[in-house]
Amino acid sequence: MEFRWNDWDFEQAAKHDVLPEQAEMTRKTRSELTTKMRAGESAETSAEFDKESAIDSFRRPTPAQRAKLQRARKKRGRPKVGKGVKVISVSIEQGLLEETDRLAKRLKIRRDRLISRGLRAVLHREVTIDR
């Protein structure tokens, strides 16, 4: 059974081979520590929570902070290449896909890069033939 110090009672203490005196001593020590806090200390520690709103302590960000905030707000994702990326669904024969993956792995490039290179080569060849 899992237990926490503040949940201890004498039954739990007995289950865990702790003498009742030890459990009581631990309980008393904890309560004494919390009640011994000076009244001023208690007020000092909780003063920040007494404020109505923390917005009064804010100030306008500096230009450097504003620039940093703008960078953080920018949409993350892949870097834009060319006109950007359009995700499409293409059916491809499984054997050809496996060959493509093997070649991409051997060249240490991603599959989409290899397919893009192939399409560019075909387009370049077709355009030069048409001229």
pLDDT digits (tens, 9 = 90+) for 59-89: 888 999 999 988 888 877 767 777 878 889 9
In a domain, 102, yes or no: yes
**Mean pLDDT over residues 88-109, rounded?**
95
Residue written as token pair 């309980």: 27
In a domain, 76, yes or no: no
CA distance 28 to 33: 9
In a domain, 68, yes or no: no
Token pair listed for 13: 């203490």
In degrees and rounded to multiples of 5, residue 125 shows phi and psi of -65, -45
In a domain, 36, yes or no: yes
How many domains are there within the chain?
2
Q: Is the pTM of this model over 0.75?
A: no
User: Are 54 and 44 spatial neighbours (Cβ–Cβ below 8 Å)?
Assistant: no
In a domain, 27, yes or no: yes
In a domain, 67, yes or no: no
**Mean pLDDT over residues 12-40, rounded?**
62
In a domain, 72, yes or no: no
Show the domain range for 116: 94-130
